[in-house]
């Protein structure tokens, strides 16, 4: 369990040591003791989890110290320990927002022990509720999770809404890194099944010999090593959604069993006889063209028609226009928040560079590029030089900027001429053009033959 830091502010040295010793019996507690309110305030940067304060300190009264603590960090729980037995003082302190008010006597240390346990439990519960609220909020609002406002993305949102209003299977296609998993999760968490499991299975990541057991489960003794019953992914998703990513990678020999499970909505565990009924939504995804896979005999046609359902084709990032900038800003804010950095802006040149790149890795690649740019940035603004596309940059820049065919030809010839140390014959052979074409380009000053 993580250490729980407690500050004890007590000017009575003897009594402070008693409290320190008593609370120190819990090995999870890290105790720091202070004799003045000002020394406590000076140490709040250490981020204590709880503070106990004596009401009658020599430099600050209990209410003044509490108010100053709240101004610095309003979330720290505070317990007041006082020789003041006046009800009015206790009521006033509780009204200010202290978590507990204890009167000094022989039982105080035990009451304090129980009070801290109760406060700590409430803190844990509150943190868990906040975490769940954040997770649910992210999942339920896919317009905020899937960033963009392009007409291409709005078409995707419209299809997702149609999926939410029925139990139809969904097939998501598109290049790697376009956000197929995000769409699958958003459909589930905006559907009536949202309170039940969303189970993701990457078909390409499971060894061939284990995939049947992983998907459909097995009974005890079904094979060597099956020491107990195993519930498979389909059964685990019962009542919810199963997301079969990279469905095209499913072994052809298992596709018939998959077909039966999807068609009948029931399964039999490996080594078993009992049928398990399924109430399940199926979402599949692939970066491959399933029609081509069917034609070439790698994917069953009957399974294709079962999983196709509502098709959603994710557009590549290069076709989403200004969504690139919206996503880039989102990734900057996210990365800076995670690393406790101040958010950065983009220069006009940086934006142009982002928009003129073709992103073969799509959104996933953009995220990596932006995170590196934030790290490389040396001011409050990300510059074009901070944005690096590695070995893909040359190809992408060539195709990303509008030029005439003649300009493209000159650029390509000049690139290979330099690469070949000015060897015209070798360059002409590589590009399958006549030597005279290259000589004429040099003669007309359209390319530079210097090495």
Task: Quickly count: other Cβ atoms within 10 Å of residue 363's Cβ.
Answer: 24
Give the C-alpha separation, 413 to 439, whole Å: 11
The pLDDT assigned to 133 comes to 52
Does residue 288 register a pLDDT over 80?
Answer: yes
Contacts of 248 (CB under 8 A, 6+ apart): 203, 286, 288, 290, 293, 298, 299
- pTM for the whole thing? 0.58
- Which of the four pLDDT bands, split at 50, 70 and 90, describes residue 87? confident
Does domain 150-313 correspond to CATH entry 3.40.50.300?
Answer: yes
Q: Does domain 318-392 have CATH number 1.10.8.60?
A: yes
pLDDT band at 137 (very low <50, low <70, confident <90, very high): very low
1-5, 7-11, 65-69, 176-180: the lowest-pLDDT one: 1-5
Residue 396 has pLDDT above 50, yes or no: no
Q: What average pLDDT does the segment 156-165 reach?
A: 90
Best mean pLDDT range from 97-111, 122-136, 186-200, 232-246: 232-246
Q: 333-392 pLDDT, tens per residue?
A: 989 988 888 889 999 999 999 998 989 889 999 999 999 999 999 899 999 999 988 644
Question: What is the overall mean pLDDT for the chain?
Answer: 87
**pLDDT of amino acid 316:** 94
Whether 24 has a pLDDT exceeding 50, the answer reads: yes
Intrachain domains 4-132 and 150-313 with the same fold: yes
Q: Residue 392: its pLDDT value, please? A: 46
Domain 4-132, what fold? Rossmann fold (3.40.50)
Domain ranges for the chain: 4-132, 150-313, 318-392, 403-443
């Amino acid at each position: 369990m993580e250490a729980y830091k407690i500050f004890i502010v007590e000017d009575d040295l003897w009594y402070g040591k008693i409290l320190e010793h008593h609370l120190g019996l819990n090995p999870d507690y890290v105790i720091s003791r202070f004799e003045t309110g000002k020394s406590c305030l000076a140490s709040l940067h250490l981020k204590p989890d709880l503070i106990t304060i004596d009401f009658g300190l020599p430099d600050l009264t209990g209410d003044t110290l509490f108010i100053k603590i709240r101004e610095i960090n309003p979330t720290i729980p505070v317990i007041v320990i006082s020789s003041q037995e006046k009800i009015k003082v206790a009521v006033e302190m509780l009204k200010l927002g202290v978590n507990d008010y204890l009167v000094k006597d022989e039982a105080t240390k035990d009451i304090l022990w129980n009070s801290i346990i109760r406060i700590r439990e409430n803190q844990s519960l509150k943190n868990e509720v906040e975490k769940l609220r954040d997770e649910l909020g992210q999942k339920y609002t896919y317009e905020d999770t899937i960033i963009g406002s392009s007409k291409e993305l709005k078409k995707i949102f419209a299809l997702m809404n149609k999926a939410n209003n029925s139990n139809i299977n969904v097939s998501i296609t598109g290049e790697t890194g376009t956000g197929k998993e995000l769409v699958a999760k958003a459909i589930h968490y905006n559907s009536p099944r949202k309170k039940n499991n969303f189970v993701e299975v990457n078909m390409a990541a499971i060894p061939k010999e284990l995939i049947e057991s992983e998907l459909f489960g097995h009974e005890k003794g079904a094979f060597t090593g099956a020491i107990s019953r195993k519930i498979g992914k389909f059964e685990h998703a019962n009542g919810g959604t199963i997301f079969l990513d990279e469905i095209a990678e499913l072994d052809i020999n298992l596709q018939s069993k998959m077909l039966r499970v999807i068609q009948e909505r029931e399964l039999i565990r490996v080594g078993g006889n009992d049928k398990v009924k399924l109430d399940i939504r199926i979402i599949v995804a692939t970066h491959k063209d399933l029609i081509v896979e069917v034609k070439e005999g790698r994917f069953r046609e009957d399974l294709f028609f079962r999983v196709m359902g509502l098709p959603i084709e994710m557009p590549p990032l290069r076709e989403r226009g200004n969504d690139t900038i919206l996503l880039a800003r989102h990734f900057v804010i996210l990365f800076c928040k995670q690393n406790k950095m101040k958010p950065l802006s983009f220069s006009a040149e940086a934006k142009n560079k982002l928009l003129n790149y073709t992103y073969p890795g799509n959104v996933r690649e953009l995220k990596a590029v932006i995170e590196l740019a934030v790290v490389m940035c040396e001011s409050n603004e990300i510059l074009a030089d901070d944005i690096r596309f590695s070995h893909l940059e040359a190809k992408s820049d060539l195709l990303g900027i509008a030029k005439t065919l003649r300009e493209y030809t000159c650029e390509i010839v000049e690139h290979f001429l330099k690469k070949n140390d000015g060897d015209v014959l070798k360059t002409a052979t590589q590009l399958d053009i006549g030597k005279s074409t290259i000589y004429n380009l040099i003669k007309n000053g359209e390319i530079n033959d210097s090495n």
